[in-house]
Structure 1
Amino acid sequence: MTAIYARQSVDRADSISIEQQIAYCRFEARGDACKTYIDRGCSGKNMNRPRFAQMMSDIRKGEISAVIVYKLDRISRSIVDFANMMEEFAALRVQFISATEKFDTSTPMGKAMLNICIVFAQLERETIQKRVADAYFSRSQKGFYMGGPVPFGFRRVPAVVDGIHTAMYEAVPEEAEQIRLIYALYAEPDVSFGDVIHRLQELGLKKRGKDWERPRIRDILINPIYVRADLKVYNFFLGQGVKPANPPGEFIGVHGCYYYKAQNAGQRKTTVLAGNHLVLAPHTGIVESDLWLKCREKCLGSRQVRPVQKAKNSWLAGKIKCGECGYALLAKEFRNHKDRYLFCSHRLHAKACNGAGTLCTGDMEQLISGEIRKRLSRFETLFPEKQNAPDPELTGLLLERAQLDREISALLEKLQEADSVLLRYINEQVRVLDARKTGLGERIRLLQQKRDMPLSGLRNHLTMWEQLSFADKRRVTDLLIRVIYATEHRVTILWKI
C-alpha cells in the first residue's frame, strides 16, 4: 500500500491546503490504493507529529511500500531528521516520492539533489524563525503587548500604542490590593515567602481561586510589571547590567515595565539579569518604587543560604558581621538564659577564621543602641518616611472587610427564594458577619486615624528606645544601618542615613 503524507503548520491564503496536497499525491499514485496521514498545525522542524509517527509505525510493520508527499518540506525541514528517515526507508525498501520535485532516489545524482533541497528547506525554516524573532524583539522594544498569561493584579484591555492597535494591562482593584499587601508584608525584616503565604491564608485570600505558593509569591516580588518605575528603578536595573529601552527621562514614577530575556540568552532571565531588556509599558504600575526596590533587593540577597530560624537572640542578627572575615556573627544564648555571646559563623562552621574575639551580645546591643541615639540626635524631630506608605495590617483588614461584604451580599441574594428555616439561618449568618464587619470597621478607623494623623513629628524619639519591642528594634536597625563589622577591639557601622 502507498502512504500519502500531508502537513500544514498554519492555514493561510497563500499556502497550499491539505486537500490540494492530497490531490497532487493521488495523481502521482496512478490509481494505487492509498492510506492518508494528515498533520494539521504541526511544524516540520522535528518529527514529533502524531500522524507521522503512526505512518512510521505502519512502515515498520511492513504495511507501506511507498510514501508520497507534495513537496520535501512537507515531511521534514531538518537535514538530520530527513537523512535518518531516508536511511530507514532504504533499509525497509520503502520508496520515497515527491509529487512536484520528481527525484529518482535510485541514482547518486537523485540522492544528491534530494539532500540539496532539504538543506534549502532547513535554511528557509531558520530564516523564518530569525525573521519572527527579530519582529518580536522590535515590537517588544516599543511597548506593544506580546502575549502570554495576564499577571495577577491586572486585566487585559484594548489599547493603541504609536498608532498601532494592541493591548495593555489595567489594574483589578481587589487583586491590586493583594499585590500591595504581599509587597508590604515581605518588606518587613525576617519575613519569608512562607510567612507571606501564612498571612494570606489567615485572611482567606487566594490567587484567582487557588492557594498561593512560594514560587508565585517570588514571581510577583521580582516582576517589574508592578512597579511605578522612576529613576531609582532605572538605576537599579542599569547597575545589574540590564539594558533599558527607554531614556531615563521617561521613568517618571507612573508606568510599569516589561522585562525581556536577551536574544540568544541561555539562562533564566530572573537568575542572570545582565544583558536582558527593560521596556516601559503603557499601563500604570501598582507598587511604589521604594517598596518594590526593597523587596527586589531582598530577593537578590535570598539566593544565598540563610538560617532557617529567625532572629530571636538579638535584634542585631543579620546586620552584624565579623570584622575579620565579613561572615555573619551568630547570637547564641546559653542554657542559663543569662549569658549571650556573638560567634563568627565562618569560624564556627569551617574553622576558617580566627574569630572576632569575645563579644558579649548585651554589651554590643548597648553600644549600638547608644550609637543609634547619637545618630538620631542630629534630628530634633522625626517625621514618618511617607504618610501614604503601605500598612500591611490596614491593607489586610480592608481586604477582610471586602470579603465580608461579598459574603453578606451573597446571602442577601438568596432571601427571595428562602423558606422560613433558611430565612432564619440567613438572618443569623448576616448578623454574625455584620458584627465582625463592625469590629473590623472600628479597627480600620483607628489605624486610618493614626495613619492620617498630621505630620507633627515625633519629638521624644531619643527616649523611646527601651520601650520598643524586639521586632520594632529590628525595624529601626534595618532602616538606619546597612551593616556592622565588629571585633573585640573595634566596631565599624555603615549607616544608611
Structure 2
Amino acid sequence: MKTREDVIYARQSVDRKDSISIESQIDFCKYELRGESHRVFKDKGYSGKNTDRPEFQKLIGEIKKGAVKKVVVYKLDRISRSILDFANMMELFQQYDVEFVSSTEKFDTSTPMGRAMLNICIVFAQLERETIQKRVTDAYYSRCTKGFHMSGQAPYGYRLEPTTMEGIRTKMMVADPVAADHVKLMFERYAEPETSFGDITRYFEEQGIKIYDKSLVRGYLSQLLRNPVYAEADLELYDFFKTQGAAIINDPADFAGTNGCYLYQGRDVKEDKDKSLKDQILVVAPHEPLVSSDVWLRCRKKLMNNTTFQNGRKAQNTWLAGKIKCGNCGYALKVTRNPSGYEYLRCSKRADNRGCTGCGTLRKSEFEQFIFAAMSEKLREFKLLRGGEEKVNPKLTALQVELAQVETEIEKLLDTLTGANATLLAYANSKIEDLDTRRQTLSKTIAELSVETISPKQIELLSGHLANWENISFDFDDKRKVVDGLISQIRATSDYVQIEWKI
C-alpha cells in the first residue's frame, strides 16, 4: 500500500508589500508539521475565487490517488474564497480521510463544530473578496472622475509623461509633434463632406506616412476618428455628449475649451454604434486637445450617418473568403464587380491605399473552379497515400489541450481588466500578449500536425461534399467548411497560385 504523506499548499494572487509571501506561508506550515516530511504545492499569481489552479489541481489528483494524509495551509482562504468550492473540497477531504489544518486558525475538521466554524469563516472570506472587488471598482470610478490616465499606452498622437495629481503619481498625455500632425490631418480631411476613408488611407500611403510603422487602414482610421480624447472640451462638445446619454462628471463651466477629455467605459458597457453613449463617463482631462470641437463633431456626425463601412461582416461573396491572400503583399483578396457585371478578386491593400501593385486579373468564378479542382485532386492523392488507415497522434492531442488551456487563461485575464487598477492592467495586458503569442504558435503547430489525425470518416465526408459541390442543396457555409478543413491559406496573383494544405 502506498504511504500517505503530509502536504503544504500555498497561494498568492498578487505580489504586494502588504500580502504574505508564498515562502512565509510555507514557513508557518512547516512549523505546524514540527519537522515531519512533506510535499509542497504552490500557486503564484492565481486568485482564490475558483479552484482552476495548476498546482492545486495536482494536489487534488494526489488526494484522489489516496497519497495524501494531511493538507496544511497558512490560512483557509489560501485554499478558496468560494463557499461552494470550499464545501466541495471538504467533502473530498472527508471521502479520502484527509485531515485539513489551517496553521493560523487552528480548526479541527473531525468535529461538527469545527466544520461549522470553517463554513462561517469561508463566508467571511468570500465577503472579503467581494468587498475588495467593490473597492477596486470604486477606486477606478474615483480616478476616472478626476481625469487620471488609467492604463495602457497613450492614443496615437500623444506620449505619456510622469506627473503628480492631487498628491498621486500618475501619467499625463503630451502631444507628440509628428504624430499629432498626422492626427490633425486625418480629422481635417475627413471633416470635408466628400472625403472618404479610402481617400485618406490612399493619401497617407502615397506620401509614405506610416502609423506605428504600418500603413493606415480604414478600420483603424474609423476608430481613431471616433475617439473624443483629441477634441477640445467646450460647451459644444458638452451638449453633444449630454444628448447622447453620457454621464458627464464636470460642470458645464469646466468645458472652457482649454483641455481635452476622456471617455471611460467598462468592458461590459454596450455602445449602440454612435447613437448612444449611455452609462459611459465623460470627464475633462488635463491634456491639451489636438483638434477643435467643431472639426471633431463634424467628423463624428459624418460617421453617425456613414453606413458604408462594415467591419467584421460575414463572408457572402465567395466561399474562399478568409483563405485567399494577395501573392504580392499578403493582404486579403476581396470580390469586386465591374460595370459589365463580371466579378473579380482584388487586393484589399490596393483598394484601400494603392500600397500594393495588386494581384493582376483574377476572375472569381474561374478561380473558384480552379481551387475546387485542386481540392478534389489533393484529396484523391491523400486517400491513396493513407490507404484508409486511421492514426492517432498523442502529441497533437496534448497540444490541443494546451491550446484550450491558453485560451481559457486569456479569457480569465480579460475578465480581470474590468475595474482593475493600473498595476493589474499592466500585468494582465503583458500576460495576455505572452499567452497570445503562445496561442498562435500552438495553432500553427496543430495545423501542421493535422495531417496525422484526419480520420477515414472525415476523408469520406470531405469527398462526399466535393462530389456534391454543384448540388443546389449544398449551401455556401458547407463549402466554407470544406475549404477550412483542407486549406490553411492561398496566396495568388494572375501569374501563380500557392496553396498551403492542411493534409
Q: TM-score range by the shorter chain?
A: 0.5 to 0.7
Q: Give, in angstroms, the shift of residue 122 of structure 1.
A: 0.8
Q: Is the aligned partner of 1:246 residue 2:250?
A: yes
Partner of 1:256: 260
1:73 and 1:118 in contact (8 A); partners too:
yes
Which of these residues, 38, 41, 60, is aligned with residue 34 of structure 1? 38
Query: Structure 1's 31 and 48: CA in aligned 2 closer, same or farther, altered over 3 A?
Result: same
Query: Structure 1's 8 and 305: CA in aligned 2 closer, same or farther, altered over 3 A?
Result: closer
Query: Structure 1's 189 and 129: CA in aligned 2 closer, same or farther, altered over 3 A?
Result: same
Q: Give, in angstroms, the shift of residue 84 of structure 1.
A: 3.0
Structure 2 CA distance, aligned partners of 1:77 and 1:187? 54
Secondary structure of 2:137's aligned partner: helix
Partner of 2:24: 20
Structure 2 CA distance, aligned partners of 1:303 and 1:197? 18
Partner of 2:300: 296
Partner of 2:450: none
Structure 1 CA distance, aligned partners of 2:146 and 2:254? 13
Structure 2 CA distance, aligned partners of 1:222 and 1:170? 20
Structure 2 CA distance, aligned partners of 1:91 and 1:197? 66
Structure 2 CA distance, aligned partners of 1:141 and 1:243? 10
Partner of 1:135: 139
CA-to-partner distance for each residue in 1:434-476, whole Å, 9 max, x for gaps?
A: xxxxxxxxxxxxxxxxxxxxxxxxxxxxxxxxxxxxxxxxxxx
Secondary structure of 2:286's aligned partner: strand
Partner of 1:267: 270
* 5+ long unaligned stretches in structure 1: 309-333, 336-395, 397-497
Q: Where do residues 392-407 of structure 1 align in structure 2 (5 Å cutoff)? A: none
Structure 2 CA distance, aligned partners of 1:210 and 1:50? 39
Give, as a single letter, the amino acid of the residue that structure 2 aligns with 1:167: K
Give, as a single letter, the amino acid of the residue that structure 2 aligns with 1:16: I
Structure 2 CA distance, aligned partners of 1:270 and 1:168? 29
Partner of 2:233: 229
2:271 and 2:278 in contact (8 A); partners too:
no
Structure 2 CA distance, aligned partners of 1:255 and 1:133? 26
Q: Give, in angstroms, the shift of residue 265 of structure 1.
A: 5.6
Partner of 1:114: 118
Secondary structure of 1:140's aligned partner: helix
Q: Give, in angstroms, the shift of residue 124 of structure 1.
A: 0.8
CA-to-partner distance for each residue in 1:95-125, whole Å, 9 max, x for gaps?
A: 3221222222233322222111111001111
Q: Is the aligned partner of 1:220 residue 2:224?
A: yes
Structure 2 CA distance, aligned partners of 1:260 and 1:47? 32
Structure 2 CA distance, aligned partners of 1:172 and 1:25? 54
1:261 and 1:269 in contact (8 A); partners too:
no
Partner of 1:400: none
1:269 and 1:276 in contact (8 A); partners too:
no
Q: Where do residues 437-476 of structure 1 align in structure 2 (5 Å cutoff)? A: none
Q: Where do residues 3-402 of structure 1 align in structure 2 (5 Å cutoff)? A: 3-189=7-193, 191-261=195-265, 266-268=269-271, 272-302=276-306
2:11 and 2:44 in contact (8 A); partners too:
yes
Query: Structure 1's 299 and 51: CA in aligned 2 closer, same or farther, altered over 3 A?
Result: farther
Structure 2 CA distance, aligned partners of 1:304 and 1:164? 45
Give, as a single letter, the amino acid of the residue that structure 2 aligns with 1:131: R
Query: Structure 1's 6 and 268: CA in aligned 2 closer, same or farther, altered over 3 A?
Result: farther
Structure 2 CA distance, aligned partners of 1:102 and 1:179? 63
Percent identical among aligned pairs is 51
Structure 2 CA distance, aligned partners of 1:268 and 1:58? 48
Q: Give, in angstroms, the shift of residue 22 of structure 1.
A: 0.7
Q: What TM-score comes out, normalization by structure 2 length?
A: 0.56
Q: Which protein shows a greater Rg?
A: 1
Secondary structure of 2:241's aligned partner: helix
Query: Structure 1's 161 and 28: CA in aligned 2 closer, same or farther, altered over 3 A?
Result: closer
2:62 and 2:68 in contact (8 A); partners too:
yes
CA-to-partner distance for each residue in 1:144-165, whole Å, 9 max, x for gaps?
A: 2222222111111122334544
Q: Give, in angstroms, the shift of residue 44 of structure 1.
A: 1.8
Structure 2 CA distance, aligned partners of 1:20 and 1:162? 36
Structure 1 CA distance, aligned partners of 2:272 and 2:113? 48
1:28 and 1:99 in contact (8 A); partners too:
yes
Of 167-176 and 56-65, more deviation after overlay is shown by 56-65
Secondary structure of 1:139's aligned partner: helix
Partner of 1:479: none
How many pairs were matched up? 310
Give, as a single letter, the amino acid of the residue that structure 1 aligns with 2:12: Q
Of 13-22 and 53-62, more deviation after overlay is shown by 53-62
Structure 2 CA distance, aligned partners of 1:144 and 1:63? 53
Structure 2 CA distance, aligned partners of 1:211 and 1:191? 19
CA-to-partner distance for each residue in 1:237-293, whole Å, 9 max, x for gaps?
A: 00011122112222122311111127x964259765112211111110111211111
Query: Structure 1's 173 and 305: CA in aligned 2 closer, same or farther, altered over 3 A?
Result: closer
Structure 2 CA distance, aligned partners of 1:220 and 1:248? 25
1:66 and 1:95 in contact (8 A); partners too:
yes
Structure 1 CA distance, aligned partners of 2:8 and 2:271? 42
Q: Give, in angstroms, the shift of residue 187 of structure 1.
A: 2.8
Structure 2 CA distance, aligned partners of 1:267 and 1:4? 45
2:269 and 2:280 in contact (8 A); partners too:
no
Structure 1 CA distance, aligned partners of 2:259 and 2:25? 50
Query: Structure 1's 110 and 164: CA in aligned 2 closer, same or farther, altered over 3 A?
Result: closer
Partner of 2:396: none
Query: Structure 1's 54 and 150: CA in aligned 2 closer, same or farther, altered over 3 A?
Result: farther
